[in-house]
Amino acid sequence: MLGAIAGDIIGSVYEFTEQKRYDFELLPEGSRFTDDSVMTIAVAYWLAHYDEEGLTDEQLIATMQELGRKYPFAGYGSSFNSWLWSDNPQPYNSWGNGAAMRVSPVGLYAETLDEALELARRTAVVSHNHPEGIKGAQAVAAAVWMAKHGHTKDEIRDYITETFHYDLTRTVDEIRPGYQWDVSCQGSVPESIICFLEGEDFVDVVRLAVSLGGDADTMACIAGSIAACIYPIPEWIEKECEKLLPDFLYRKMCGFEGYLNILPLFRMLPD
| pLDDT per position as a tens digit, 201-215 | 999 999 999 999 999
* Per-residue confidence (pLDDT) for residue 177, from 0 to 100: 96
245-261 in b/e burial notation, b at 16+ Cβ within 10 A?
beeebbebbeebeebbe
In the chain, the percentage of residues whose pLDDT exceeds 70 is 95
Please, are residues 126 and 57 in contact by the beta-carbon 8 Å criterion? yes
Per-residue DSSP letter, 184: B
pLDDT band at 53 (very low <50, low <70, confident <90, very high): low
Across the chain, what does the average pLDDT equal? 93
214-263 per-position pLDDT tens digit: 999 999 999 999 999 999 999 999 999 999 999 888 888 878 877 787 66
pLDDT at 271 over 90: no
Amino acid 51: pLDDT = 62
| Residues in a beta bridge with 96 | 184
How many whole angstroms separate alpha carbon 124 and alpha carbon 122?
5
Task: Fold for 2-78+93-261, please state it.
Answer: ADP-ribosylglycohydrolase fold (1.10.4080)
Residue 195 has pLDDT above 90, yes or no: yes
**pLDDT for the residue 229:** 96
CA separation for the pair 56, 197 (Å, rounded):
34
Question: What residues contact residue 50 under an 8 Å CB cut-off, 6+ apart?
Answer: 56, 59
Show the DSSP H helices in 167-227 as ranges: 172-175, 185-198, 202-211, 216-227
Residue 184 pairs in a beta bridge with: 96
**What predicted TM-score, i.e. pTM, was given to this entire model?**
0.94
Best CA proximity match to 35, nearest among 70, 61, 59, 85: 70
Q: Is the pLDDT of residue 52 over 70?
A: no
Taking the CA of residue 27 as centre, how many other CA atoms within 13 Å lie in the half-sphere pointing to its CB? 16
Angle ∠(9,241,25) on CA atoms, nearest 5? 55
- Is residue 24 within 8 Å of residue 14, measured between CB atoms? yes
pLDDT at 268 over 50: no
12-16, 17-21, 136-140, 193-197: segment of lowest average pLDDT: 17-21
Lowest-pLDDT range, 10-24, 122-136, 181-195?
A: 10-24
pLDDT recorded at residue 269: 45
